[in-house]
């Protein structure tokens, strides 16, 4: 027995080597197929152009449900189905541009493009402007300085942070909580600098919150260029007036769907590895990077593995979550449903950081599991992926951990430099996506799913 063990131990380096070679060869096939016979690029074009701006509850969102369901059925996945979920239904309506009026001689400055923040009430606002860099500054001011004014939150994203989502994270509180903060001090409206590192003329929308205990006030985003201009005009003329009018409307909750495709596992059919993105998108652009790319890449993961005739041990799922942007209802419902059916997820992977060249994966797992997954890094390096480390996976897979603390969550991390050029803005359209970057991302995800399916998470 001891001799056999010794012999096996001697053989181990070779076994590991041939295993690595086998994995390396299969991953090469995945990348080759994605880059030469990939469907992600035309599929994303269909989603962007045939469905289009697809905020929860909209007709376009329903088109996106039909379209992705149809695609997965056409690709012959083992099962494809929808999951009902009631979602918020907010519509933007028309917006006026922001008009600025100088106090001296009432000279009117050029109108600037703005957009209502997602969830804002309607309103027509006119007044003086108080520029602040955030709650820290606002909280120290006396209400008298603020009452009847429009608060202008102008703290920019921190350009020093190389990973731009970090800069977003330290800045987005202005958009989410600005209306509550400002109203609690008596302001009648807010203008928020767009979450964008580039100086340009696109206002960026995004979710915002109201509080039941504070009056609701209309909230808009201004472009980064507009914010810079408004700020310098205010320095010259503190009594400058602005006016804007927005007319969004909140409708009753609407019936919508998560869309799920599956390749059923041969060994553990009731244990799941899910990869997903969110099907809803803000209404100004086409949701190409956010998050058409993640949805289509998730479909492509299963299509690539099926095309290469891979037979999974676990059941693999591609999940289009509905309503990430303004509710997360789809993600919550997906987790609830799986829990109620006794469907155990071993891994939930989220792709929601844009269609850029893949750089790595962020892992939420215990240290042993992290180490186990990190050991695969050498297989990814020739594809430009050098980072597997602990970090947040994403909003849509989060609820899976609430129903099962053992699940491993993974976030796909492409290059972040250009993401906020497009995020929630009118230029997040199909033409802003590079085909190869999208395809490399899909291949990276498929390779990870292959390794997870083959070797598990421990």
**Shortest Å distance, C-beta 289 to a second copy:** 14
Instruction: Considering only residues 164 through 183, tell me which ones interact with a second copy, judged by CB under 8 A.
Output: 164
For residue 161, count other CB atoms closer than 10 A to its CB. 16
70 binds a second copy (CB under 8 A): no
CB distance 324 to 249 below 8 Å? no
413 or 449: CB nearest a second copy: 413
Tell me whether residue 232 is exposed, middle or buried, using C-beta atoms within 10 angstroms of its C-beta: 0 to 12, 13 to 18, 19 or more. Answer: exposed
**309 CB-contact burial (10 Å; exposed 0-12 / middle 13-18 / buried 19+):** exposed
| Number of residues located near a second copy, criterion CB under 8 A | 27
Q: With respect to a second copy, which residue has the nearer C-beta, 31 or 272?
A: 31
Nearer of residues 9 and 159 to a second copy, judged by Cβ: 159
From the list 74-82, 267-275, 301-309, 413-421, the region that binds a second copy by CB under 8 A is 413-421
Residues 6 or more apart from 88 whose CB is under 8 A from it?
Answer: 56, 57, 119, 250, 253, 254, 323, 326, 327, 329
Piece of 31-39, 124-132, 244-252, 328-336 that binds a second copy (CB under 8 A): 31-39
Rounded CA separation 124/245 (Å)? 4
Please, are residues 345 and 410 in contact by the beta-carbon 8 Å criterion?
no
With contact defined as beta carbons under 8 Å apart, do 373 and 387 qualify?
A: no
Nearer to a second copy, 76 or 390 (CB): 390
- Using the contact rule CB under 8 A, the part of the chain among 79-87, 269-277, 285-293, 383-391 near a second copy is 383-391
In angstroms, what is the C-alpha Rg of the chain? 24
Report the residue number, 144 or 160, with the smaller CB distance to a second copy: 160
Q: Does 188 bind a second copy (CB under 8 A)?
A: no
CB of 223 to a second copy, least distance (A): 15
User: Closer to a second copy at the Cβ: 31 or 334?
Assistant: 31
- 115/118 Cα distance (integer angstroms): 9
Nearer to a second copy, 62 or 417 (CB): 417
Residue 440 contacts a second copy per CB under 8 A: yes
Asked if residue 36 binds a second copy (CB under 8 A), the reply is yes
115 counts as binding a second copy under rule CB under 8 A: no
Instruction: Please identify, among the stretches 212-220, 244-252, 296-304, 428-436, the one whose residues bind a second copy according to the rule CB under 8 A.
Output: 428-436
Which residue of 91, 111, 126, 198 would you call a contact of a second copy, by CB under 8 A?
A: 198
Placement of tokens 């602040």 in the chain: 132
Rounded Cα distance between 248 and 225, Å, is: 24
- List all residues 6 or more positions away from 185 whose beta carbon is below 8 Å from its beta carbon: 138, 141, 143, 146, 147, 151
Q: CA-CA distance, 401 to 274, in Å (whole number)?
A: 13
Chosen residue from 22, 32, 147, 368 binding a second copy by CB under 8 A: 32
Instruction: Provide the token pair at 66.
Output: 């039909």
Q: 323 to 362, contacts with a second copy by CB under 8 A?
A: 357, 359
CA distances in angstroms from 92 to 203, 250, 282, 397, listed in the order given: 14, 9, 10, 28
Choice between 36 and 136, CB closer to a second copy:
36
Of positions 1, 5, 9, 159, contacts a second copy by CB under 8 A = 159
Binding site for a second copy (CB under 8 A): 31-32, 35-36, 159-160, 162, 164, 197-198, 357, 359, 381-384, 386-387, 415, 417-418, 421, 434-437, 440
């Amino acid at each position: 027995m001891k001799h056999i063990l010794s012999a096996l131990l001697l053989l181990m380096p070779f076994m590991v080597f041939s295993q690595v070679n086998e994995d390396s060869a299969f991953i090469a096939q995945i990348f080759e197929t994605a880059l030469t016979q990939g469907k992600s690029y035309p599929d994303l074009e269909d989603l962007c152009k045939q469905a289009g701006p697809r905020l929860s509850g909209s007709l376009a969102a329903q088109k996106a449900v039909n379209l992705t369901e149809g695609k997965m059925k056409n690709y012959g996945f083992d099962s494809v189905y929808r999951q009902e979920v009631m979602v918020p239904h907010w519509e933007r309506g028309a917006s006026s541009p922001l008009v600025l009026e100088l106090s001296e001689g009432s000279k009117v400055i050029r109108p600037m493009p703005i957009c209502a923040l997602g969830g804002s009430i309607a309103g027509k606002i006119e007044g003086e402007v108080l520029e602040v860099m955030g709650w820290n500054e606002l909280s120290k001011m006396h209400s008298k300085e603020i009452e009847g004014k429009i608060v202008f939150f102008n703290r920019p994203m921190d350009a020093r942070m190389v990973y731009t989502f970090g800069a977003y994270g330290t800045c987005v509180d202005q958009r989410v909580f600005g209306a509550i903060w400002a109203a609690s001090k008596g302001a009648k409206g807010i203008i928020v600098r767009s979450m964008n590192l580039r100086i340009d003329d696109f206002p960026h929308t995004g979710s915002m919150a109201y509080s039941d205990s504070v009056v609701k006030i209309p909230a808009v985003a201004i472009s980064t260029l507009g914010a810079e201009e408004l700020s310098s005009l205010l320095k010259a003329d503190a009594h400058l007036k602005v006016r804007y009018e927005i007319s969004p409307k909140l409708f009753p909750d609407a019936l919508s769907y998560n869309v799920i495709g599956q390749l059923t596992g041969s060994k553990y059919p009731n244990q799941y590895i899910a990869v997903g993105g969110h099907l809803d998108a803000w209404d100004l652009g086409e949701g190409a990077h956010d998050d058409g790319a993640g949805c289509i890449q998730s479909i492509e993961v299963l299509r690539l593995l099926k095309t290469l005739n891979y037979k999974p041990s676990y059941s693999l799922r591609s999940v289009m979550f509905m309503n990430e942007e303004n509710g997360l209802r789809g993600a919550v419902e997906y987790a609830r449903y799986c829990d109620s059916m006794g469907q155990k997820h071993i891994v939930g992977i989220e792709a929601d950081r844009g269609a850029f060249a893949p750089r790595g994966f962020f892992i939420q797992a215990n240290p042993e599991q992290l180490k186990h997954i990190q050991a695969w890094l050498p297989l990814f390096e020739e594809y430009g992926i050098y980072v597997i480390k602990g970090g947040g996976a994403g909003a849509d897979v989060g609820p899976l951990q609430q129903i099962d603390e053992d699940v491993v969550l993974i976030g796909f991390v492409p290059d972040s430099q250009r993401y906020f050029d497009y995020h929630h803005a009118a230029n997040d359209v199909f033409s802003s996506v590079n085909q190869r970057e999208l395809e490399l991302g899909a291949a990276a995800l498929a390779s990870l799913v292959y390794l997870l399916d083959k070797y598990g998470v421990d």
